[in-house]
């Protein structure tokens, strides 16, 4: 008995080689046998039932056992029987969700508690009075059916709330297999509809999808014993793949995404029909009226709140009907009827090449509806129509993006980007190209090699097939080629540098392309994830676009002088150290100003370390000097938007400058705290990249994000003698990309080489020192708990 109870606690080594349904069966049988022994033979009038996931025989490692001890209300030993079951389980550390009730009490609870009702719908007898158990199950199911008009809307609300809270299995990089939209609970909701006799049992493809999620969840629980969660983490993908026989973690993610799509789409279509039937049944005489068919477009009508085909529609000879119906569905917010979309899937021919202009217009009209287009495109996808229209879509369908910076799979990211771009169709002169560019900008991620180059090759063939003329195709190709141009230039380069502005203008080539790229950049970032776009980035990109537009119009870009009037005034402030904290127009952002009485090469490194100690994230920093005084200005993001503590900054900076504050030791402690809050797989090694295309050299450093990383890099650059004039700091997921505009006194204007170029010898020296500083930081972080 003891060994079985220990195994119930979730020791993976108890079941070597078992996975999937075999593992679930073994766990359920083990629990059943142990519980039957604990229950014993107490006689009539009492029974032990498994409910919920255990009732369905779907336990996983570490799962709670959901149990109900039901009795007839006449026995005097119920407490003793219950204690004989619960206490051994608790002593063994087995998770338990239990209750002791009469039939009437259990039914009363189920009437008011949705979770309890759903659990009892899956109840099964472990041991005890079979008649009593059958009475409870039959009563609960009968009341579920009789109260369907009230309980089913409650069920639908719970599905929607879980989706709002946890996102979607199909499109998240780390989905919750149980609670996310399209997860295991949604299948249970479908079965609850069937138990109410308002829908059929979920079709085989849903059950197959459910098995995929159950299998993966079983391995997630095996790997993460003690975590007690059902989220498929990126770091667990390879282990899950190896256990279940998938080629790699990408295959696992795609299988999970496909399963989630099937489940969520089936729930949507099933619930829509159930809700429509409930509304119809509530209207007196509804069954006597003739259905009303409201024309929406050629061959497309609304009937009973669904998109249907007109009586004279001929899908087999009308290739544009699919997109007309889809555009009507998105425009009106009315979902496809299953009969209509199934008929289109069976009869619609391939679109001719090139597409008729009307068909392309319908696709643009569909995308222009924004969020409603996502739901409609998913309906097309579920019956194979989306890939029939755009065969290249198959390469990105359900494809995960192996970067936590991204929230969605590639295909959902493209649909989200098009939906976000729809908000800017009035801001550009070619809204059709904006929407198509958003839909296709990452299409190359489904192909080998660089995704931008691959995307250009794909769109070069796809655009003419869509019927775009050569000049429009070239604009679309420019959007694909440069879809990262603005955000990278704005966040990784100095937008006050004329070289940056002129480079962006030259790459865009025209104001039209630049304007389209501006809105595509915003849509792309908004569709990436919550940290990819904010007011700070929006302002930088907008200013860069304004300046590049001036260049394309033949005007001088509005760039600030080497020293602004304000900077001159700041440098003239008296005293050996001045610190200011000034709010910036971007929410949660502040300017930190530091003025010192000497020309201090390492001022950036020192200030960056102090800011890291104060939990301030540097986004941009610039250093200037004049007449032996130094000025540093840093734009920082403060935790929760709270104003930084000026007094503490002054004290810490003075201590760091004078040496009374051991910045290195203090940062080591800060790194330990930071490391414990970060989770990552094995990080990529840091890189140092040199860019001599501008007026001064740029040293770009890419490295894992750790507390104090900017301080380490800036200190290393100072050690080599480089003077950092401007630092541009960007965080991409779990990595930083920091660009440093430097001046080199060794090879500056007085030397033998141009100031804009560092020699090969100097590059090697700088790279060696920077990498050594970062390697030392990585070792310190790993010893503090950072790393895999």
Quick: pLDDT tens for 673-723: 554 444 445 667 899 999 888 778 999 999 887 878 888 898 899 899 888
Which DSSP state fits 172?
B
Rounded distance, CA 278 to CA 335, Å?
17
Q: How confident is the model at residue 755 (pLDDT cuts 50, 70, 90)?
A: low
Please indicate, yes or no, if residue 414 is contained in any of the structural domains.
Answer: no
**Residue 695, domain member (yes or no):** yes
Please list the residues that pair with 101 across neighbouring strands.
70
Residues 519/494, Cβ–Cβ less than 8 Å? no
In the structure, what pLDDT confidence band is assigned to residue 671 with cuts at 50, 70 and 90?
low
Query: Given pLDDT bands bounded at 50, 70 and 90, which one contains residue 136?
Result: very high
pLDDT value for 151: 94
* Co-location of 142 and 185 in the same domain: no
226: domain range? 165-281
- Average pLDDT, integer, range 661-665: 84
The arithmetic mean of pLDDT across residues 744-772, rounded, is 75
Over 90: is that where the pLDDT of 223 sits?
no
Q: Looking at residue 246, what is its pLDDT?
A: 96
Looking at the structure of the chain, the number of domains it has is 3
- Assign 756 a pLDDT band (cuts: 50, 70, 90): low
Q: Which pLDDT score, from 0 to 100, does residue 586 have?
A: 77
Share of the chain above pLDDT 90, in %: 61
In a domain, 151, yes or no: no
Tell me how many helices (H) and strands (E) the chain has.
Answer: 31, 15
Residue scoring higher pLDDT (530 or 295)? 295
Q: Which of 50-64, 321-335, 343-357, 729-743 comes out lowest in average pLDDT? A: 729-743
**46 plus 120 within the same structural domain:** yes
Give domain status of residue 300, yes or no. Answer: no
For all residues of the chain together, what is the average pLDDT? Answer: 88
Supply the pLDDT for residue 476: 98
Is there a single domain that holds both residue 658 and residue 747? yes
Q: Could you tell me if 262 and 200 lie in one domain?
A: yes
Mean of the pLDDT values across residues 496-523? 95
Q: Quick one: pLDDT at residue 679? A: 47
Residue after which a domain boundary falls, among 281, 305, 321: 281
Average pLDDT over residues 28-47: 92
Token pair for 49? 């039932």
Q: Looking at the structure, do residues 681 and 770 belong to the same domain, yes or no?
A: yes
C-alpha torsion angle, residues 103, 105, 108, 114 (rounded to 10): -90
Instruction: Give the CA radius of gyration of the chain.
Output: 32
Instruction: Indicate the range of 20-34, 408-422, 700-714 predicted with least confidence.
Output: 700-714
User: Residues 653-659: what's their mean pLDDT?
Assistant: 89
How far from 603 is each of 449, 496, 718, 724, CA to CA, in Å?
Answer: 42, 21, 9, 9
Domain end point (choices 94, 119, 146): 146
Based on the domain organization, do 130 and 239 belong to the same domain?
no
**What's residue 304's pLDDT?**
83
More confident call, 657 vs 13: 657
pLDDT the model gives residue 148: 93
Q: Is the pLDDT of residue 784 over 50?
A: no
Higher pLDDT, 14 or 465: 465
585 and 724 both lie in a single domain = yes
321: confidence class by pLDDT, cuts 50, 70, 90: very high
> Can you give the pLDDT at residue 286?
47
* Cβ atoms within 10 Å, residue 460: 14
Phi/psi region, residue 313 (left: phi>0; alpha: psi -120 to 50; beta: rest), is beta
In a shared domain, residues 604 and 741: yes
Residue 537 lies in a domain: no
Rounded Cα–Cα distance for residues 492 and 351 (Å): 43
pLDDT confidence bin for 261, thresholds 50/70/90: very high
State which of 281, 308, 339 marks the end of a domain.
281
- The CA–CA distances, whole Å, from 609 to 553, 568, 584, 618, 709 equal 43, 25, 21, 10, 9
Given a cut of 80, is residue 745 above it in pLDDT?
Answer: no
The pLDDT of residue 4 is above 80 = no
At residue 523, does pLDDT exceed 80?
Answer: yes
Nearest to 250 by CA among 146, 398, 366: 398
Burial label for 587, CB within 10 Å (0-12, 13-18, 19+), is exposed
**pLDDT tens string 159-208:** 999 999 998 998 888 899 999 999 999 999 999 999 999 999 999 999 99
| 543 has pLDDT over 90 | yes
**336: in domain:** no
Higher pLDDT, 295 or 775: 295
- What integer pLDDT is reported at residue 602 of this predicted model? 78
Residue % of the chain over a pLDDT of 70: 90
pLDDT higher than 70, residue 71: yes
The pLDDT of residue 600: 65
Residues in the chain: 788
Quick check: is 507 in a domain?
no
In the predicted model, is pLDDT for residue 634 greater than 80?
Answer: yes
Instruction: Return d(Cα 46, Cα 30) in angstroms, integer.
Output: 22
Task: Give the pLDDT score at 680.
Answer: 47
Statement to judge: residues 133 and 190 lie in one domain: no
What pLDDT is attached to residue 622? 85
Are 120 and 52 in contact, with CB atoms under 8 Å apart? no
**Residue 756 lies inside a defined structural domain of this protein:** yes
Asked whether residue 178 falls in the same domain as residue 142, the answer is no
The C-alpha atoms of residue 450 and residue 503 are separated, in whole angstroms, by 22
Average pLDDT for 718-745? 82
Closest CA to 323 of 307, 304, 339: 307
My answer on whether 660 and 777 are in the same domain is yes
**Rounded distance between C-alpha atoms, residue 651 and residue 579, angstroms:** 10
Residue 592 shares a structural domain with residue 734: yes
| Cβ atoms < 10 Å from Cβ of 346 | 11
Instruction: Give pLDDT, residue 732.
Output: 66
């Amino acid at each position: 008995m003891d060994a079985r109870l220990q195994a119930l606690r979730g020791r993976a080594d108890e079941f070597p080689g078992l996975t999937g349904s075999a593992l679930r069966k073994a766990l359920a049988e083990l629990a059943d046998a142990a519980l039957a022994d604990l229950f014993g033979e107490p006689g009539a009038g009492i029974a032990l039932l498994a409910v919920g996931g255990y009732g369905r025989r779907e336990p996983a490692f570490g799962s709670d056992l959901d149990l109900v001890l039901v009795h007839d209300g006449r026995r005097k030993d119920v407490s003793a029987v219950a204690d004989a079951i619960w206490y051994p389980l608790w002593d063994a550390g087995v998770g338990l969700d239990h209750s002791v009730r009469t039939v009437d009490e259990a039914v009363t609870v189920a009437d008011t508690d949705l979770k309890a009702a759903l659990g009892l719908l899956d109840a099964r007898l472990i041991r005890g009075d079979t008649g009593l158990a059958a009475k409870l199950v039959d009563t609960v199911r009968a009341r579920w059916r009789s109260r369907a008009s009230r309980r089913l809307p409650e069920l639908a609300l719970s599905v929607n709330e879980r989706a709002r809270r946890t996102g979607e299995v199909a499109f998240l990089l780390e989905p919750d297999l149980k609670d996310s939209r399209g997860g295991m609970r949604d299948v249970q909701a479908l079965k609850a509809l069937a138990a109410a006799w308002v829908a059929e049992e979920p079709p085989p493809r849903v059950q197959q999808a459910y098995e995929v999620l159950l299998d993966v969840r079983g391995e997630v629980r095996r790997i993460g014993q003690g975590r007690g969660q059902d989220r498929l983490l990126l770091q667990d993908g390879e282990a899950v793949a190896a256990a279940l026989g998938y080629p790699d973690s990408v295959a696992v993610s795609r299988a999970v995404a496909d399963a989630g799509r099937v489940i969520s789409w089936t729930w949507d279509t099933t619930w829509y029909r159930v809700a429509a039937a409930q509304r119809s049944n509530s209207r007196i005489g509804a069954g006597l009226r003739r259905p009303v068919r409201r024309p929406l477009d050629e061959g497309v009508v609304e009937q009973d709140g669904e998109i249907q085909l007109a009586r004279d529609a001929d899908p087999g000879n009308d290739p544009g009907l699919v997109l007309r119906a889809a555009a009507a569905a998105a425009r009106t917010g009315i979902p496809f009827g299953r009969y209509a979309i199934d008929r289109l899937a069976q009869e619609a021919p391939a679109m001719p090449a090139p597409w008729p202009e009307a068909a392309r217009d319908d696709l643009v009209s569909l995308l222009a509806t924004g969020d409603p287009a996502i739901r409609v495109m998913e309906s097309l996808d579920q019956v194979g129509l989306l890939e029939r229209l755009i065969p290249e879509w198959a390469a990105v369908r359900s494809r995960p993006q192996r970067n936590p910076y991204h929230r969605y799979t590639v295909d959902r990211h493209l649909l989200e980007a098009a939906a976000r771009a729809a908000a800017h169709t009035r801001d550009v002169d070619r809204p059709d190209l904006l929407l198509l560019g958003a839909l296709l900008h990452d299409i190359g991620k489904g192909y080998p090699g660089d995704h931008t180059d691959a995307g250009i090759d794909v769109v070069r063939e796809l655009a003419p097939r869509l019927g775009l003329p050569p000049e429009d195709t070239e604009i679309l190709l420019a959007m694909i080629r440069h879809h990262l141009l603005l955000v990278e230039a704005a966040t990784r380069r100095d937008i006050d540098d004329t070289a940056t502005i002129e480079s962006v203008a030259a790459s865009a080539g025209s104001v039209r392309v630049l304007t389209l790229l501006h809105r595509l950049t915003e849509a792309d970032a908004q569709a990436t994830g919550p940290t990819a776009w904010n007011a700070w980035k929006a302002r930088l990109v907008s200013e860069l676009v304004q300046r590049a537009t001036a260049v394309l119009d033949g005007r001088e870009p509005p760039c600030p002088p080497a020293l602004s009037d304000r900077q001159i005034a700041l440098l003239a402030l008296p005293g050996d150290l001045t610190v200011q904290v000034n709010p910036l127009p971007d929410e949660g952002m502040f300017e930190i100003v530091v003025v010192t009485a000497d020309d201090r090469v390492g001022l950036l490194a020192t200030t960056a370390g102090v800011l890291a100690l104060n939990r301030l994230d540097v986004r941009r920093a610039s250093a200037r000097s004049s007449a032996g005084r130094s000025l540093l200005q840093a734009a920082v993001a403060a935790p929760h938007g709270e104003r930084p503590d000026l007094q503490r900054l002054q004290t810490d900076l003075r201590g760091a400058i004078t040496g009374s504050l051991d910045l290195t030791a203090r940062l080591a402690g800060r790194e330990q705290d930071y490391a414990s809050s970060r989770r990552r797989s094995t990080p990529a090694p840091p890189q140092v990249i040199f860019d001599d295309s501008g007026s001064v050299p740029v040293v770009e450093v890419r490295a894992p994000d750790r507390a104090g990383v900017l301080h380490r890099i800036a200190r290393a650059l100072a050690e080599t003698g480089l003077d950092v004039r401007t630092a541009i700091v960007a965080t991409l997921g779990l990595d930083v990309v920091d660009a440093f505009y430097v001046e080199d006194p060794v090879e500056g204007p007085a030397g033998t080489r141009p100031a804009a170029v560092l020699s090969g010898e100097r590059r090697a020296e700088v790279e060696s020192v920077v990498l050594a500083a970062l390697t030392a930081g990585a070792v310190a972080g790993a010893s503090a708990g950072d790393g895999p």
